[in-house]
Structure 1
């Protein structure tokens, strides 16, 4: 399904409200003046509010398991706003809250 591309300035949070930031966006392709993020990039999560007693939280990192099928940067699929991710160690998804609206991929 088509959706906006994620870039360095996109607002992405974990399911518990922590801020997620890509570790190494792809600098050679930019949208809205910011580098895009590819599926190969790991996100780091700061400020996750999930602290279960004796559980497996809080969210620390996340990887995307789906990405664009037709748009690539450096041979790697770019991330879309509807791409699916999994946080470690909780197994919950990241939530791309806001992305740039101008460039759409599928």
Structure 2
């Protein structure tokens, strides 16, 4: 049996191939950009990152890679939190504050 396996796969059953550094991710995710200070830009970046995370999650599910799917879900959660923060900043920036001094001319 071992000879047949070696003929098919090029290796014997007695050896296992272990990556040199299993901690290293061969397909690292892109770094999440920090807030730019501009709420509109931050919101656009977060939405783009959400779209990428959804696409990555679909690809992972298609091949049955649940580790990658979990990673994509985490990226989606992070991007959603950044989008909500940016939206909150946009809403607070458009709030008009009326004070008694606003009526003095």
TM-score (norm 1): 0.22
More helix by share: 2
More strand by share: 1
Greater radius of gyration (CA): 2
